[in-house]
Amino acid sequence: MRIAELSRESGVPIPTIKYYLREGLIPAGERTSPNQAQYDARHLRRLRLIRALIDVGGVPVAGIRELLDSIDAKGENLHNALGTATHATLAAAEQGPPTPSQARAGIELDALMAERDWDSDSARARQMVINALATFFDLGEDDLAVLLPVYADAAALVAEAEVGLVSSRSDVDSAVEGAVIGTVIGEQVWAGLRRLAQEHYSNKINTTGPDEGRDDRP
C-alpha cells in the first residue's frame, strides 16, 4: 500500500508517519519510484503499536525507541525486556540527596522487599515508590502509607500472572513483545478497574445521603 493508504488504515496523519520514518521508528518502505514507496502489514502493525504505546499507554515519544529496540532485538530475553519497559516508561529519578521523607520511605520499601524476598533493583521503579510514599508523609497523610503491603500484594498478584503468561509463549520474541505491551497497557487496565472498584466500595459505605455536596458546586 502507499503512504496515503497506510495513513487511512492506521488513522495516523501522513506527516506523523513521515516523522516516524525519518526517526527510524518504522522501517522504510520499498521504493517503487524516486517519489513512491510501498508499505505492508508490518508497517501498519508497527504504526498501531507506536500509537497504542503513546495514546493509550502514555509513553513519552522519547521512550518509544527504547521499547521498539527491545522488541526488535532478536533473542532478547524476557527479563531484560521487562527491565527495558520499566526504564523506557518511567522518568529518571531526580538527582540530589533524599529528603527525610524519602529516606523514611526508602527504609519502609527495603523492609517490605526483604520480607518478601524481592530481589529487584530497578532504580526507576524504586524511586517511583519512594517518591509517592514520601509524598504521603510530606502531606501529613502518613496513615495512607500503611496500605503499602496491600499495594504490594496486589502488585505481586498481577506481576506473577503477567510474567507467567508471557513467559509461557513458545516464541521468545513474542514473549518479549507481550511483556512490553502488557506492562504498558496492563497498567491502564488496572488503573481503570481500581477507580471502578473504588466507586463500588464507596457506594456501599456511603451513608451521608445521595449526592450531597455535589449540588453546591459551581
**Region 29-88 residues binding a second copy, contact defined as CB under 8 A:** 45, 48-49, 52, 56-57, 69, 73, 75-80, 82-83, 86
214 binds a second copy (CB under 8 A): yes
CA 16, CA 6: separation in Å to the nearest integer? 11
User: Should residue 152 be labelled a site residue for a second copy when binding is judged by CB under 8 A?
Assistant: yes
Helix, strand or coil, per DSSP, at residue 122 = coil
- How far is 6 from 3, CA to CA, in rounded Å? 5
Among residues 14, 61, 107, 189, the one that binds a second copy under rule CB under 8 A: 189
For a second copy, which residue of 97, 114, 170, 216 counts as binding (CB under 8 A)? Answer: 216
Angle 37-39-42 from CA coordinates, rounded to 5°: 150
CB nearer to a second copy: give 97 or 121: 121
DSSP string of 128-183? HHHHHHHHHHHTT-GGGGGGHHHHHHHHHHHHHHHHHHHHTSSSHHHHHHHHHHHH
Name the minimum Å distance from CB 20 to a second copy.
17
Q: How far is the CB of 28 from a second copy (least distance, A)?
A: 19
**Residues 85 to 124: which contact a second copy by CB under 8 A?**
86, 90, 113, 116-122, 124
The string of DSSP codes covering 21-58 is HHHTSS---EEEETTEEE--HHHHHHHHHHHIIIIIT-
* 33, 35, 95, 202: residue in contact with a second copy (rule CB under 8 A): 202
Residue 131: CB minimum distance to a second copy, A? 5
Q: Does residue 194 interact with a second copy by CB under 8 A?
A: yes
